[in-house]
Amino acid sequence: MTSKSLNFQSQNLVVDWISFKFQESHYDLNKIAKYLFKLGFNSYQQSGKLSKPVPERILVNSKNQFSILFVNDHSYWKGTLLQFSGLNARRFYFLAKQNTIDWKIFDKATLSRFDIYYSRENNKLDKISSEDFLESCYQKIKQTNKNVTLGKNKRGLILKIGNRKSNNYSRIYQEKKSLKFEYEMKGRSLEKSYNLLVLNNFEEMELNLTKRFLSYFGKLLPLQNSYLDWLVFKLRPIRKQNNFQLGLNSDYIRSEIEINPKNLIQFIQFLNYAQNLDYTIADWDGVAYRKVTFIVRDFITYQNPTISSKNRYQLQKTKEFFRDLLTGAIIDSFQNDCFRTLIAIPRIEYKVCSKQKYLIANVWMVNKLFYYKYPYYFPNFFNIKLNKYQFEVRFKFIQVFSFINIEKVFWVSEFIPSKISNQRKASIKKYFIEVIELLQNYDLIEDNYRYMSQGKIYKTSKLDVKNISEGFILYEKLNI
């Protein structure tokens, strides 16, 4: 996912409210009403002082499917609000994106409120009820924010966060088969958004508001909960990530894969290696491909400096790896369909340098690969000499960690073969602890550990070879 793909449509965010503020003497109500009437909006007005105001008709025609509301006579300031709610807001925003709106009509206005929401469908795999989820959110938030309430409306529970008059206010509430996460933005924080709006720069505007929406809820809510799987998925590519020397860019990996795990790790390593090579761009059928040229033995050294680059067996295995790239088998190991459609390596050529006798490879790759926002970025756990079980343990970590949820469950008892010596079993457990410590050092996991014993889960301050025999749970750290 690239930053440019962060927009309302790609993130399934819905515009739910737009309002403009006009100072008392700086607008013509009838002129605005007539203009919007031609675009399909009936207009009404009401007093801002009354607790239960009755809207009065201004311009109404039964053929118009949408409506606007002018709210005036406020107690605290002189002026008028022009409000678009729900479907009306979505229609106005659609017309704006079609460059239909004449922004001269709004040149004396300010953008006073902009609401967006995300609707998360209930899932049979959710471990707790939506009521329990809202209760857990309430308990977490009230520890640091007094302006939080959990109550009921006609549809069910509703969690209100923040002061309604502040620039940031949100609600999470139950609907028939979903939970709606709604975010209200107001005040001066919308000045930049308004400027982008009237300039028809919707790409930057939606990018900014989408990041604001995701970061707001990401910092506020308990991300390990299954009801926030959508939020974790959207946050992961835009989070603050550490830069590792010779790091591994990775996408979501399928839980069951049929290819050689070493080939998958080799592919991830090649992505990192190729991004630092010189290249040329070729256009084939409207698709941009990046051609990279490199000495094959240099890539072998990049993968593992302890292996001789002149090792003929390793050279043959590397050539087999590149051949497998053309089959798509490695590509099918990833869960994210978006990522898989980006990847295509249609052509690989070799030639031998006549003087030094080393092998040179030319590889064509879809250029978008190098601009994709990978959700995971790991230290390179594989650029040292590893025995069979060390590699398998490290691959298992990459595979389990490269999963959508924050909670990572490792079943050690299922991983360790039963027909090996107790000494070998103890060594494998040490390999697990070894990687856990690496993740701790690189600040990739929370200081929050669990282990399984006789079907129950227990908290612990430290995992060791004694308490991980059955399995353990880690929680990924998202730096937002």
From CA 395, how far away is CA 398, in angstroms rounded? 5
pTM: 0.85
Task: Give the per-residue pLDDT at 314.
Answer: 86
* Element spanning 303, H or E: helix 296-303
Element housing 427 (H / E): helix 422-441
User: Which residues are bridge partners to 14 per DSSP?
Assistant: 117
User: In the prediction, which pLDDT does 120 show?
Assistant: 96
For the chain, what percent of residues have pLDDT higher than 70? 98
Task: Provide the percentage of residues in the chain whose pLDDT is more than 90.
Answer: 59
Quote the CA–CA distance of 342 and 29 in Å, as a whole number.
50
Give every CB contact of residue 449 below 8 A, 6+ residues apart in sequence. Answer: 459, 460, 461, 462, 463, 472, 473, 474
Predicted local confidence at residue 244, as pLDDT: 74
Tokens of 381: 């756990």
pLDDT, position 340? 72
- 333 pLDDT more than 90: no
Q: Give pLDDT tens digits for 286-331.
A: 889 999 999 999 999 898 888 777 788 888 888 888 888 887 777 8
Higher pLDDT pick, 154 / 75:
154
Q: What is the pLDDT of residue 13?
A: 97
H-only helix segments in 127-283: 130-141, 191-198, 202-220, 229-235, 261-274
> Can you tell me the distance from the alpha carbon of 334 to that of 309, in angstroms, rounded to the nearest whole number?
29
Contacts of 476 (CB under 8 A, 6+ apart): 401, 406, 408, 444, 445, 446
Is it the case that residue 77 has pLDDT exceeding 80?
A: no
What are the backbone angles phi and psi of residue 414, rounded to the nearest 5°? Answer: -80, -25
Q: In which band, very low, low, confident or very high, does the pLDDT at 1 lie, cut at 50, 70 and 90?
A: very low
Residues with Cβ < 8 Å from 114, sequence gap 6 or more? 15, 17, 18, 19, 184, 185, 186, 190, 193, 209
The string of pLDDT tens digits covering residues 432-477 is 999 999 999 999 999 999 999 998 999 999 999 999 999 999 999 9
At residue 164 the predicted structure's pLDDT band, cuts being 50, 70 and 90, is confident
- List the structure tokens of 255: 């839980």
Instruction: Report the sign of the C-alpha dihedral through residues 55, 57, 59, 61, in that order.
Output: positive
Please say whether the beta carbons of 329 and 343 come within 8 A. no
Here the tokens at position 383 are 């650029």
